[in-house]
């Protein structure tokens, strides 16, 4: 009975070792390297797209701020100071009254 137990343990360990070696060999094969490079390039492309979208959002927000400053007839520096003082959602009525 003991021999059968050790035979089963040996078979299980051997199967796990063969699977690990096969996975490593596939990872370092030309097709595995190409797949890894493709996945990395896809991830990089997604990151660049997200960055570009964030920059566009920031540009649109700043453009809206500049339009608001021009509509109120103040300099951009004064408008930026008010944004810094009261936050992004400054009360424009209070600012216009000054």
- pLDDT by residue (tens digit) across 10-66? 999 999 999 999 999 888 888 888 998 999 999 999 999 999 999 999 999 989 988
- Give the range of the structural domain holding residue 73, as residue numbers without chain letter: 2-97
**Mean predicted confidence (pLDDT) in 72-93:** 72
- When pLDDT is cut at 50, 70 and 90, the band that residue 89 belongs to is low
Q: How distant, in Å, are the alpha carbons of 19, 23, 54 from that of 44?
A: 30, 25, 15
- Indicate the number of domains in the chain: 1
**Mean predicted confidence (pLDDT) in 75-98:** 66
pTM: 0.53
pLDDT at 55: 97
């Amino acid at each position: 009975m003991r021999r059968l137990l050790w035979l089963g343990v040996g078979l299980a360990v051997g199967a796990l070792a063969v699977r690990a070696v096969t996975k490593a060999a596939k990872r370092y094969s030309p097709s595995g390297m190409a797949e890894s490079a493709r996945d990395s390039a896809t991830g990089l492309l997604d990151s660049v797209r997200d960055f570009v979208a964030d920059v566009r959002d920031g540009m649109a927000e700043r453009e809206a701020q500049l339009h608001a400053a021009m509509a109120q007839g103040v300099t951009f520096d004064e408008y930026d100071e008010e944004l810094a003082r009261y936050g992004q959602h400054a009360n424009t009525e209070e600012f216009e009254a000054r």
